[in-house]
Structure 1
Amino acid sequence: MAVQPKMKKAIFLVWLLLVPAGMWFTFQTFPPHFSGQWLHIFAFLTLTSIVAIMPMVINNTPIFLIQWVSLATFLSFGLFVEMIFAQAAVILLLLRLRIQKEQYFRIPLNLIMFFLVSFLSGVVYYSLGGQTGPNLINDPHSLWLAAVYALVNYSLNQVIITFYLYFIYKSKESYFGKDFIVETITTFITLPLGFVLYMFYNQEGLLALLFVAIPFASLSIIFKLYYSSEKINEYLQKAAEIGHQMAERLEVNGVIDLFIQKLSEMLPVDYAYIFDVVNEDELQLVRRIECGARVQTEIAKFKKNEGISGVVWNKQKGYLYNSKKEWKSYSKGFVPADAESILAVPIVRNKNVIGVLMLASKRKRAYEKSQLMIVDILCSYFAVAIENAKHYELTKTQSERCALTKLYNYRYFEKVLNEEFDKLFQFERKVLSLIILDIDHFKAVNDTYGHQSGNEILSELAARLSKLVGSRGTVARYGGEEFVVLLPEANKEEAFQMAEMIRQAIANWPFTLHQSLELTQQQIKITASIGVATAPEDAEDALALVRHADRALYVGAKRAGRNRVAEYSTC
């Protein structure tokens, strides 16, 4: 949730005008009640600091359980001391959370909130007749007033947080969610600790702080460890799910896209880079994602131990950098200047590094060691999925392509032709044209120059066809010296023009033979006859379109003298 720069400036101004003056007013109106008890004050401040730097992080939200210490401090030393301690606790908490520069406005924002909560709840308490240092054991009325103070304190805190969310952060999410429920429950569970601490302190002095602080600190540590283990288990479960999803993808690009997408959902990723090991001593960048968008740039290859990725490859282990100063000396310059945290992990398959993944965030300390472990596991899944996808693509290519010309084969052409006719029947296409060409006197070429030279001509012709047609249609080897070009949304006139261009590209430019029977490089000229038919004008089904284009080829072009284009006609 972004906060506008003007709002940030306004927050600092409000703090400057409100908090210092309010603290001075509080000191004058509600002076502190202690005489020479500096050791006691220091002890309570220490306890406050311990609680502040040990927040319970639940559902990625730090739960700040300072209310019970604030209650005991308020009852023991008065409003001004409690207010000072609360301000110190806020600063310590935000320092502990290591907020970034753009989040510095949260310091005055939270100081304002805690000042208002402390001041208003204290005023309510004193207005109802409450006193500093009450006897809660023998005076039930004082106990009720202390409970009212705690309730008002908590309620004001929630009201101000709600105001912040809706009017400063412009959040449209409901405030009364899981975080609110957890914080409410933990607050009301720990608030009795404040009463116990105050009453125990009145009886036993500083010894009470040890008996209360140590169990609470231990409880915080247990909560933190429990939450960390739950978080790791959640990551592991997500990693397994992502692994299954990647295994279902059959294309390399699909696997890479899904991998980066899922990583970006799990972790704070502003920049992502995937490197591929192209030989034994070089890495090449194969995917570059910056701020969610793919960037197409030419970047030099990296050697082993060169750059961050080269170090990861050479050491065959992951690295985690919390800030730019830790990795700047290793970088080769392609990482954006505003990147701070970097997580780099080798992609390993069968104990061999086949690539390197590098993630970067604009925030300092954006990644944790546990996340390094999870990404390492995900890279193992990724390596398997990539290898499977490569095998699938290779098998698919071999089944769909002609080994000699690298064009699509008849099987693939037939599938595409049927699909295009389905679109024609469903009115997704208006027209569909087919070009069939056959090299003239190709047998004579083979007999004169050899079959290897014939293969060279077929390969060069395939390259010319692919370049001429481009993305406008599908080029395939129909069989022997015959080729087909399928042109969606091309009428007969447009198809005829394309066929004429193809005829001229064959007839006007010689073909180079490198492996002829003469054992010397030669150039020969060949021609081709071409037939054109269009659906639905000439045919109502796929078989008829092929038959009519073939008829145009042999009747209209071959019989008419070859080296010409003929279109299908019923005449």
Structure 2
Amino acid sequence: MVVQAVSRQKEVVIWTSFVVMVPVFLWLGYQLSPVVLEDLPMWHIIGFLALAIILALIPIVVGEVPLFLAQGVSLAALLSFGIFIEMIVTLVSVLALMAYMRLNRENRLRIPINMLMFSSISLIAGFVFYLFGGTPGDTRLLNIGVITPILAHELVYFTLNTVALYFIQVQIYERKSKFITPDTKWDAVTSIMVLPVGLILYILYEQVGPIALLYVGLPFVILTLILQLYHSSQKVNVHLQQAADVGHQLTERLDTQGVLDVFLDKISTLFKVDYAAIIDVNGEKIMKVLRVMDKQNSVEANAILHTDDEELLAYMLKRGKSLCYLTKKEWKHMSKTHLPANVESLMCVPVIRNHKIEGLVLLASTSKRTYDKSQLMIVDILCSYFGVAMEKARHYQETKQKSERCALTKLYNYRFFESVLDKEFDKLNKGHSKSLSLMMLDLDHFKKINDVYGHQSGNEILMQVAERLTVLVGSKGTVARYGGEEFVILLPDMERGQCFELAERIRVNLATRSFALKQHIRETKGAQMVKVTASIGFATAPDDAEDTLDLIRHADRAMYVGAKKAGRNKVAEYRKTS
């Protein structure tokens, strides 16, 4: 999840509130505490602070919310020394956690937000503890009058924490958020688990002194590590499931552009990224950016990259294995790169097919320690799916093109043309279009060209005619090779008069511009310039035909009877006779 920018006005208000209110909260906490500061055992308190800091440096972060396992130490500090020391322990552990996370400039606002949140929550929950009759140093936990304030403190603490997190998401970062989220459930589980540990630490400390910090602290640290490993394994399992779902979605796409779009969209959603790119490797020196998501606009799609100017990518190609960098210090020696200047963490994974690097997937974040080895493994799996999906899509497109296109002219073949004709005629019958014209074109005396110049020259003319027809018709219709030297053109929503004008333009173009034959069988060297004419006939539905077969037959009849028999190099239209 990417932290959204907060307005300058909000930043000023938050920092000002932090500077003013946190000291006020601490002063109020000190006033509420029944313990005199001079009477407190400072070395014991330092021990509590040390244990809280250690726990803060082993965080479990769910989403962007750190689960605060140091809360158990804070609870023991409250019960032993009062609310003021509890607030100090909590705020010091918060600062330790923020320092461990090494927030970048964009995320530093989380420091005053968290300090305000925890100082205010500690103050209110501590006040409730005293309100319900709580007394520091009373170890009779089986007494209802002693345990009730503790449970009230924990309930208020958890509730206020949930409300505060929701408020921060909705009001400060202006995100859509549910009040109860998976993060809330994890926080509840953690609160339930640390409560007995905090109580045990409190009881032992009251009985045996600071050595209790070792007796309870060591198992507590081990419990934290176990929870961290469990959460990490759960996170990996979720990512594996998501990777499988992405793999299914990729293999369902049969076009390369769709595969690229789906892959970039999904991988940018699965991981925290400020920059993501799919790069095609064209040889050893040149690369092309196929897709990019870049908030800094440092590079655009279809940009050409050279390995001489891309030290990081060049190293990746040479290494041939996935890379994961936690901070910029690890890769800053590779200074030549198109990446945004504020990038810290990054992952780079090769897309390998048949033992050859076909492409690179690059993910980057402006935060430090954003990625880990488990995430690199997931991206590696996704890149394997991506490579297979791209190859499948390419094969499908090649097969589809071969089945739909004429191998010589690259025009659509008659089989594909029939399917288009059926669809367009169905639109006409349903009233989605007003007319449908079909044009038949036959090259005049084409056999003579084959006999004089050879069949290769005949093929040259067919290819050149196909190119001219494609340009002249453009997006107005569909051009196909009907067979031999015959071509057919389907023109949706084109009236009879417009069809005649287009047919005449085609006839004139073919008749007046010579065709260059380079592969002729004549003895003379160089290209032979040859004139070729065409006879064209057309029919327009619904006036001239009631179905597709009628439309083809009537256009064909107009071509042979109206154009061929009338002397060739003519345009003829079909007219119904009464």
Alignment match of 1:175 (pick from 157, 173, 179): 179
Amino acid at match of 2:223: L
Residue 529 (structure 2) pairs with residue 523 (structure 1): yes
For residues 492-511 of structure 1, the C-alpha deviation after alignment (integer angstroms, 9 at most, x for no partner) is: 22222221221122122111
Residue 54 (structure 2) pairs with residue 77 (structure 1): no
TM-score, with normalisation over the residues of structure 1? 0.91
Aligned to 2:454: 450
Mark the CA change 1:172 to 1:334 in structure 2 (over 3 Å): closer, same or farther. closer
Aligned to 2:562: 556
For residues 406-421 of structure 1, what are the structure 2 equivalents within 5 Å?
A: 406-421=410-425
Q: What is the SS of the residue equivalent to 2:39?
A: coil
Residue 556 (structure 2) pairs with residue 514 (structure 1): no
How far off is 1:192 after superposition?
2.4
Partners of 1:153 and 1:430 lie apart in 2 by 71
For residues 499-527 of structure 1, the C-alpha deviation after alignment (integer angstroms, 9 at most, x for no partner) is: 12211221221111111222431212211
For residues 190-205 of structure 1, what are the structure 2 equivalents within 5 Å?
A: 190-205=194-209
For residues 6-21 of structure 1, what are the structure 2 equivalents within 5 Å?
A: 6-21=9-24
Q: What is the SS of the residue equivalent to 2:183?
A: helix
Amino acid at match of 2:416: Y
Partners of 1:560 and 1:96 lie apart in 2 by 90
Q: What is the aligned-residue RMSD (CA, Å)?
A: 2.8
Q: What is the SS of the residue equivalent to 1:23?
A: helix
How far off is 1:96 after superposition?
2.8
Identity of aligned residues (%): 47
Q: Is the 8 A contact 1:305 1:313 kept in 2?
A: no
Residue 394 (structure 2) pairs with residue 426 (structure 1): no
Mark the CA change 1:412 to 1:366 in structure 2 (over 3 Å): closer, same or farther. same
Aligned to 2:273: 269
How far off is 1:312 after superposition?
1.8
Amino acid at match of 1:568: Y
For residues 91-124 of structure 1, the C-alpha deviation after alignment (integer angstroms, 9 at most, x for no partner) is: 2222333433222222112211222222233334
Partners of 1:135 and 1:229 lie apart in 2 by 38
Aligned to 2:359: 355
Amino acid at match of 1:383: G
Partners of 2:216 and 2:486 lie apart in 1 by 90
For residues 57-76 of structure 1, what are the structure 2 equivalents within 5 Å?
A: 57-58=61-62, 61-76=65-80
Q: Is the 8 A contact 1:407 1:462 kept in 2?
A: yes
Aligned to 1:494: 498
Partners of 2:164 and 2:243 lie apart in 1 by 39
Amino acid at match of 1:477: R
Aligned to 1:252: 256
Residue 104 (structure 2) pairs with residue 100 (structure 1): yes
Q: Is the 8 A contact 1:32 1:78 kept in 2?
A: no
More displaced 10-residue stretch of structure 1: 406-415 or 183-192: 183-192
Q: Is the 8 A contact 2:539 2:574 kept in 1?
A: yes
Residue 326 (structure 2) pairs with residue 302 (structure 1): no
Alignment match of 1:288 (pick from 278, 287, 291): 291
Partners of 2:400 and 2:346 lie apart in 1 by 37
How far off is 1:481 after superposition?
0.9
Amino acid at match of 2:230: Y
Partners of 2:514 and 2:336 lie apart in 1 by 48
Residue 250 (structure 2) pairs with residue 235 (structure 1): no
For residues 406-452 of structure 1, the C-alpha deviation after alignment (integer angstroms, 9 at most, x for no partner) is: 11111111121112112222333222211211111112222222211
TM-score, with normalisation over the residues of structure 2? 0.90
Q: Is the 8 A contact 2:166 2:177 kept in 1?
A: no
For residues 469-496 of structure 1, the C-alpha deviation after alignment (integer angstroms, 9 at most, x for no partner) is: 2222211111111111112222222222
Aligned to 1:211: 215
How far off is 1:184 after superposition?
2.1
More displaced 10-residue stretch of structure 1: 132-141 or 217-226: 132-141
Partners of 2:398 and 2:133 lie apart in 1 by 84
Partners of 1:495 and 1:423 lie apart in 2 by 19
Partners of 1:337 and 1:436 lie apart in 2 by 61
Mark the CA change 1:360 to 1:470 in structure 2 (over 3 Å): closer, same or farther. farther
For residues 160-218 of structure 1, the C-alpha deviation after alignment (integer angstroms, 9 at most, x for no partner) is: 34443443344543312333233223313321222221121011011111111111111
Q: Is the 8 A contact 1:242 1:262 kept in 2?
A: yes
Aligned to 2:7: 4
More displaced 10-residue stretch of structure 1: 505-514 or 306-315: 306-315
Q: What is the SS of the residue equivalent to 2:440?
A: strand
Partners of 1:170 and 1:207 lie apart in 2 by 47
Aligned to 1:23: 26
Q: What is the SS of the residue equivalent to 2:304?
A: coil
How far off is 1:378 after superposition?
1.9
How far off is 1:536 after superposition?
1.5
Which blocks of at least 5 consecutive residues in structure 1 are unaligned?
none
